[in-house]
Amino acid sequence: MAPSSVKPDLEIDFDRPGPDYHRKAVKGRRELLARAVGAQQGARKILDLSAGLAQDAVFLCQMGFTVTAVERHPVIAGLLTSALQRTRRPELRERLTIREGDARDVLREPDCARDFDAAYFDPMYPLKKKSALPRKEMLLFRELVGDDADAAEVVRLALRLGPPRLAVKRPLKAPPLLEGVKHSFEGTTVRYDIYVRS
């Protein structure tokens, strides 16, 4: 699908009311996502390797983390950048950075491992009936972006070159993307597999 036909139908708005970008962090840094990226070990600067619609990146910023979110599809990256420029939320303007590019290229940068405390990776997996966006918008997003066929490669590269901790989001019953999981945090529908770079 050409970007010109997708862009008018798919909108990203960080200020839109509802659960998309306004989750309640009732447990603060004891939230499952916060624990997965290493909040209890002092992690503060997070590299999001697959921004997508940036819902998790926004939630991390809301909990006080500083996040650099990488999105390789230029249309989605442009929509995210526009949403960040428009937002009135100070925690996003201060703590969120959007980078257009391939996560593998970012991981190969000389200072990547030093610049971030942890990496977070949420590869595309099969669509559930209940999704964070209306089904039409999510289908447009998936049609535009496609599946992350290189997900295992990204994990391998992150463990070789990236920050010391990697959290990979998976469906609860799905197998790990790669062997070597040190620990997992399980929710009701998703699981965060934790890898530690040696």
23-49 per-position pLDDT tens digit: 876 677 789 999 999 999 999 999 999
Query: pLDDT digits over 3-29, tens only?
Result: 444 445 678 999 988 777 888 766 777
Residue 1 confidence (pLDDT): 40
Percentage of residues in the chain with pLDDT exceeding 90? Answer: 71
Residue 6 confidence (pLDDT): 46
* Confidence category of residue 181, pLDDT binned at 50, 70, 90: very high
More confident residue, 110 or 4: 110
For the segment 89-118, the average pLDDT, to the nearest whole number, is 97
The full 3-state SS of the chain, as one line of letters, equals CCHHHHCCCCCCCCCCCCCCCCCCCCCHHHCHHHHHCCHHHCCCEEEECCCCCCHHHHHHHHCCCEEEEEECCHHHHHHHHHHHHHCCCHHHHHHEEEEECCHHHHHCCCCHHHHCCEEEECCCCCCCCCCCCCHHHHHHHHHHHCCCCCHHHHHHHHHHHCCCEEEEEEECCCCCCCCCCCEEEECCCEEEEEEECC
Residue 145 confidence (pLDDT): 64
Query: Are the C-beta atoms of 110 and 37 separated by less than 8 Å?
Result: no
What is the CATH number assigned to the segment(s) 3-163? 3.40.50.150
List the domain boundaries for the chain: 3-163
